[in-house]
Every structure is written in structure tokens, then in C-alpha cells.
Amino acid sequence: MTTSVPDGTTNPETGDVVVRLRGIGKTFPGVIANHDIDIDVRRGTVHAIVGENGAGKSTLMKILYGVQKPDSGTIEIHGRPVDLGSPSDAIGAGVGMVFQHFMLADNFTVLENVVLGAEKLHGIGDAARAEIRRLSEAYGLDVDPDVLVEDLGVGARQRIEILKVLYRGASVIILDEPTAVLVPQEVDELFDNLRELKAEGLAVIFISHKLDEVLSVADTVTVVRRGTTVDTRPAAGVTSRQLAELMVGSELPSPSTETSTVTDQPVLEVRDLTLPAPTAGLAGTGGRPLLSDVDLTIHRGEILGVAGVEGNGQAELVEAIMGMRPGATGSVRLFGADLGGLSTRRRREAGIGYIPEDRHRHALLLDAPLWENRVLGHQTREPNVSGPFIDRKGARTDTQRIVEEYDVRTPGIDVLARALSGGNQQKLIIGREMTGEPSLLVAAHPTRGVDVGAQAAIWDHIKRARRDGLAVLLISADLDELIGLSDTIRVILRGRLVPGAFDPATVTPQQLGSAMTGAGDDAAGDVA
């Protein structure tokens, strides 16, 4: 665990505050994305903002970069209150952003990419070239203005993005998950660059959920959870365990564990499930399989929780079980019957309910009425169809039933799904996936982005179904949810299940957090 040595730069505790956020709040219909955000970013520091996906980091950054306007709160930059209506306002105020996905034109030179859209600053000729050379020199970015971007690697492209921001005169640079696309050596180079930047007096806002990296480069760390800032600490005095604990929280009203209903009848058996890396993998994935040799069994009445840091194979595991990932090898059995080769539809018909991770993209037709969304995924089954025809009446009646039983707050079933809040959308999805008496429910982040009331209701529904013998595969980033609901917890790390199960009755979020980051004592051997 490294902590950065303040190399003669401004003291993180006392330097000038360049960005001051106070009481920032942002609400989308039915979802509170941010509230009461308070952050001070000081000159000459790297300020990390950490939090699980969905915690509200991206909304916060969009607000700071002028993409979205906050509903409440104030933003001060260099001591002046600002009103950021668009990214160009933000650039004007000295805030620049480097996105995770680069925005560079491959067939342009570095010079052309940098001046694109900023032609007024130094023209497009020698003056601009000289300025790029100067910046490259000053910050050790090692950028040649006259090479084609398509000839450059990922690390160099990222440096161009940083240079673009500097070229536009930014004094505050936001980096969104900058290490996600880099190999370790490139990460080290990036961190060297960041140290140069802060030595020159800039402020860097570094967004990440990789705690080790955060601690090695940041001066200050702010933790965001459930839409608000939980704590801000100097990086020097904090451990990744402590950060993990802050990120996942432990004081939430946890779903209480009940008497075990686990039987010895296996419902889902997964053996040696492997999913090779896509052939044209990014440098960052390094050709590592997305899943390797995953074995797990879920019995009737059992909820198996899978914990893991985002991007370690949870999404792939779910999709492989649902038959959405061609190329997966190994066996998936439901009540002993091999599902291999069966299409997603056949698997659903065999009795698997599916709550996808991203409900807008995978679970709903946003521009279709609720009752048609009831049919989605169940368009071969009663009461939605009769023969080759959709049974409109049956589907509508049953949608009405779901709306009542699952307390979906809506004026009617002809409302478009888009009009509902996240929590109500999710309740409809849960209701839909629970009908037809599934024997297995695959639930990925079932309460993400959902308000607390809906969350409790969803937990209740899952628990009730478990009593009735449902087997559940539960993927969640919310460790309290996992601990509270699961009968067994497994941890996934780099596409593998960490050997050994955790007992939710005894495990703490801290222990899980360590296993998830591969940082703790009880983590499995590192997989290269």
C-alpha cells in the first residue's frame, strides 16, 4: 500500500480551494441521483472520488462538466460562483474532462486533433504546434504533434486527451476511470504524468473504484455512496479496507436473514464455465478469459450471492447462464438437464426468471406501454399468448395483477414504461419475472438505482419466493444486500470464483471488500 509523498507541492490540507461544491443535488423522475454533495478540491493535488457504480459519481462529474445542471447547491471555481450550462461553459471556467472513451479522430494527426474545435486559441499552424510542444515538454507528456493518432497506443492517446484539455487552458482536469483501458506499465506512466500536473499547480480529479491505484496517486479521497459524499480523507492515513467499508456502507437497514430454507435439491449446476476473451481485446484485458472454470450450485430455496468489483465477470456469468454469450464452454444444468445449446428463449421457458443489470437496455421497451412490457420475455407463454397470437386481454389482466401485487405506482397499464420511476419499473420487472413460477431467478443488481421504499419491497418479494422454493443467483454491488439476502456468498475476481464460500451470518462487509479487491489476507491466490 503506497501513499504518495507530497513532493514539495501544496499541502492537501491547506492549499487554495479551486473547486468548491456545496449541497449539490440532482433528481431524476423518481430517483435521487445526487444530494448534499460537498467537495473541496485544492490546487496542486490529485483528488480521488471513489464509489461503486451507480453511487452517483458520473452524475456528479456531468454536473461539474456542465453536461447536466444541478437542481440545488452551488459550484465555485477559483472562488467565484459559476453556472455551468454546457461543457463549453466548463472549459471557459477552466474545467476539462478526459473521458474513459477517447474522442479522437484516428485519421488526423495529433496537432489536428488537439486544435479541432479550439482553432481560435493558437490557430492551426506553427503557433499551435509550438504550444503543443511547450505543453508536452512542461508536463512530460512526450507528445509529437505530427504523428497520426491511428499509429499511437492507448497510453499515448490518453496523453493526447490530457494535452487537449491543457491546450484549452484547464486548471482543473477530471479523469474518468482513466486506468480502465491501460496495462500496468501505462498506469505507472499516467501516474507520473499526474504528479507532473499537480507539481505545476493544477488540480486533478480522479474517478475510480480501484482502491490501490487511488491510494498510490491521490492526495485526498472522497467517497461517494448512494448519491452523496460520505467522507473525505487524506490518502496518507487511510487503507483500502477502510475505503471499501466506506464505499459499501454497513449501517443501512439491512435485509434481515431468516431461517434457512435451503434444501438439498440442486436447481442450477454450473461446471467449468469458461468464456474466452474477445479476440480483438483491448490492451487492458490482456487476453484474460472473461470467465474461467466457474463452478457453482444453487439449491431449491437458496439464494447464492456473488460479490465482486464491477467488471470482474459478473455480467458475463449472468449472460452465459442466460444463453446470451456464444462461445461459452462448460456445462449449465437446470434440474440436471443440460441447457447447453438452448437459446435464451428456451432457457426462459425452462423456468429461469431474469432481472438484467441494466433495466433500460435489457429489461424494458421504454416506448411501449406497461402491458406490452409484461409480455416481453414471456411472449411464448400463458397468459400472454394463445397460439401464434398475442392474448391482449390475458396480458392486460395479468399486468393489472402485477401492478397491484407488486405495488407498481402508475396511473394505468397503458402508460409508457419510460414514464415510470426506476423503482416502479423495477417492481414491474420483478413481478413479471416472478410469474409463471420460475424455478431459478437470475437477478443482477435488482435494487440498483431504486429508492429505499422500493428496495425493501423488492427484498421482500425475493425472500418470499425463496421460502416457496425459488433458487436465486443474486449479483450485487451492495454488500449489505448480499449479506442480508444470501444463504451463501461467493466472490468473483478476474473471471474466477474465489475458492470457498462465505457465510453471511458471520462475514463482514470489510472481509468481503478485501476479497473482492484481492487485497486482503483471506483473498485467493492472485490469478495472473
Partner 1 sequence: MTDQRLKRLGLALAAPALALVAAFLITSLVLVVAGDSVGGVWGQILSIPEARGLTNIVNSATVYYLSGVAVAIGFRMNLFNIGVDGQYRVASFAAAVVAGEAWLPGWLNTAAAILAAMLVGAAWAGIAGLLRVTRGVSEVISTIMLNAIATALVAFLLRKAAVDDPGSNITATKEIPEGSRIPGFTLFPGAPNQVYGFVFIAIVVGVVYWLVINKTRFGFDLRATGLSETAAVASGIDVKKMILVSMLLSGAAAGLVGLPILFGEAFAYGSTFQSGLGFAGIAIALLGRNHPVGIALGALLFAFLDEQSNPLQIVQDVSPDIVKITQGVIVLTVVIAYEVVRRYGVRLEQRQVAAALDAERRTGSTSKEVTG
Scanning residues 86 to 125, which ones bind partner 1 (CB under 8 A)? none
**Among 204, 211, 420, 512, which residue interacts with partner 1 (rule: CB under 8 A)?**
420
- The residue range among 159-167, 197-205, 225-233, 260-268 that interacts with partner 1, by the rule CB under 8 A, is 225-233
Contact 500, 297 (CB under 8 A): no
301 vs 449, beta carbon nearer partner 1 = 449
Residues contacting residue 525 through CB under 8 Å, at least 6 positions apart:
none
Element (H, E) at 420: none
- The residue range among 44-52, 117-125, 138-146, 345-353 that interacts with partner 1, by the rule CB under 8 A, is 345-353
**Among 277, 365, 501, 523, which residue interacts with partner 1 (rule: CB under 8 A)?**
365
We find the least distance from the C-beta atom of residue 449 to partner 1, in angstroms, to be 11
- Is 130 one of the binding residues for partner 1 (CB under 8 A)? no
**Phi–psi pair at 316, nearest 5 degrees:** -70, -40
What whole-number distance in Å separates Cα of residue 181 and Cα of residue 164? 19
- On the question of a cis peptide bond just before residue 383, with omega within 30 degrees of 0, the verdict is yes
Please choose, from the candidates 8, 369, 47, the residue with its C-alpha nearest in 3D space to the C-alpha of residue 208: 47
Contact 425, 368 (CB under 8 A): no
Scanning residues 251 to 280, which ones bind partner 1 (CB under 8 A)? 251-252
295 vs 391, beta carbon nearer partner 1 = 391
We find the least distance from the C-beta atom of residue 374 to partner 1, in angstroms, to be 11
Please choose, from the candidates 51, 437, 4, the residue with its C-alpha nearest in 3D space to the C-alpha of residue 225: 51
**Phi–psi pair at 221, nearest 5 degrees:** -125, 130
E strand map for 284-346: 291-299, 303-307, 329-334, 337-338
What whole-number distance in Å separates Cα of residue 270 and Cα of residue 273? 7
358 vs 405, beta carbon nearer partner 1 = 358
- Is 69 one of the binding residues for partner 1 (CB under 8 A)? no
168 vs 362, beta carbon nearer partner 1 = 362
We find the least distance from the C-beta atom of residue 405 to partner 1, in angstroms, to be 16
**Among 118, 324, 519, 523, which residue interacts with partner 1 (rule: CB under 8 A)?**
324
Side-chain half-sphere CA neighbours of 252 within 13 A = 24
What whole-number distance in Å separates Cα of residue 448 and Cα of residue 417? 17
- The residue range among 62-70, 224-232, 284-292, 510-518 that interacts with partner 1, by the rule CB under 8 A, is 224-232
We find the least distance from the C-beta atom of residue 215 to partner 1, in angstroms, to be 25
Side-chain half-sphere CA neighbours of 457 within 13 A = 20
C-alpha cell at 359: 433495466
**Among 72, 100, 216, 344, which residue interacts with partner 1 (rule: CB under 8 A)?**
344
3-state secondary structure of 211: helix
**Among 390, 519, 523, 524, which residue interacts with partner 1 (rule: CB under 8 A)?**
390
What whole-number distance in Å separates Cα of residue 395 and Cα of residue 381? 10
What whole-number distance in Å separates Cα of residue 440 and Cα of residue 173? 46
What whole-number distance in Å separates Cα of residue 4 and Cα of residue 214? 10
We find the least distance from the C-beta atom of residue 30 to partner 1, in angstroms, to be 7
What whole-number distance in Å separates Cα of residue 494 and Cα of residue 501? 17
233: β partners? 221
- Is 411 one of the binding residues for partner 1 (CB under 8 A)? yes
**Among 133, 168, 333, 362, which residue interacts with partner 1 (rule: CB under 8 A)?**
362
We find the least distance from the C-beta atom of residue 425 to partner 1, in angstroms, to be 11
Scanning residues 503 to 522, which ones bind partner 1 (CB under 8 A)? none
Contact 13, 234 (CB under 8 A): yes
148 vs 376, beta carbon nearer partner 1 = 376
- Is 350 one of the binding residues for partner 1 (CB under 8 A)? no
**Phi–psi pair at 344, nearest 5 degrees:** -55, -40
What whole-number distance in Å separates Cα of residue 90 and Cα of residue 502? 46
**Among 36, 258, 437, 503, which residue interacts with partner 1 (rule: CB under 8 A)?**
36
Number of residues forming the site for partner 1 (CB under 8 A): 60
At how many degrees (to 10) do helices 422-434 and 392-405 cross?
A: 120
We find the least distance from the C-beta atom of residue 190 to partner 1, in angstroms, to be 32
226 vs 288, beta carbon nearer partner 1 = 226
Please choose, from the candidates 187, 165, 145, the residue with its C-alpha nearest in 3D space to the C-alpha of residue 102: 165
**Among 195, 209, 210, 348, which residue interacts with partner 1 (rule: CB under 8 A)?**
348
Side-chain half-sphere CA neighbours of 444 within 13 A = 21
- Is 448 one of the binding residues for partner 1 (CB under 8 A)? no
Q: Given the C-alpha cell 425472500, which residue does it identify?
A: 463
- Is 368 one of the binding residues for partner 1 (CB under 8 A)? yes
- Is 422 one of the binding residues for partner 1 (CB under 8 A)? no
- Is 453 one of the binding residues for partner 1 (CB under 8 A)? yes
Q: Given the C-alpha cell 461446471, which residue does it identify?
A: 271
- Is 452 one of the binding residues for partner 1 (CB under 8 A)? yes
55 vs 141, beta carbon nearer partner 1 = 55
Scanning residues 8 to 27, which ones bind partner 1 (CB under 8 A)? none
What whole-number distance in Å separates Cα of residue 396 and Cα of residue 501? 43
**Among 20, 26, 35, 57, which residue interacts with partner 1 (rule: CB under 8 A)?**
35
- The residue range among 83-91, 237-245, 286-294, 409-417 that interacts with partner 1, by the rule CB under 8 A, is 409-417
- Is 410 one of the binding residues for partner 1 (CB under 8 A)? yes
Element (H, E) at 266: strand 266-275
147 vs 350, beta carbon nearer partner 1 = 350
We find the least distance from the C-beta atom of residue 108 to partner 1, in angstroms, to be 24
Interface with partner 1 (CB under 8 A) = 29-30, 32, 35-36, 226-228, 230, 251-252, 322, 324, 343-349, 354, 356, 358, 361-368, 372, 375-380, 385, 388-390, 392, 409-416, 418-421, 424, 451-453, 456
